[in-house]
Amino acid sequence: MPEQPHKHTTKTKAQMFVTLRREILAARLKITLDERQGRTTAPELRDLAAMDVPPASWAMPDHTARTGEG
């Protein structure tokens, strides 16, 4: 049986970008704290921290990004 393509709604995509943004920023914070305390950081976490942070506007549906209304 062929696999069905994923159907993501705008809300689901918005949640994904919010989560990705939060995880990238948390990884950057963890690296900073690890450096200050002389600890090593997992390479996977460094890879995550190296990703570009999605703009906050990507996390909102189009009309919300333009008007500020939600």
Give residue 70's pLDDT band: very low, low, confident or very high (50, 70, 90).
Answer: very low
Give the pair of three-digit tokens for residue 18: 């919010």
Contact between 12 and 45 (Cβ < 8 Å): no
What is the number of other CB atoms lying within 10 angstroms of the CB of residue 69? 7
pLDDT in tens, 16-57: 899 999 999 999 999 999 999 999 999 999 999 999 998 877
Between 69 and 37, whose confidence is greater?
37
Query: Would you state the pLDDT for residue 5?
Result: 66
What global pTM score does this model have? 0.69
Longest Cα separation, the chain: 53
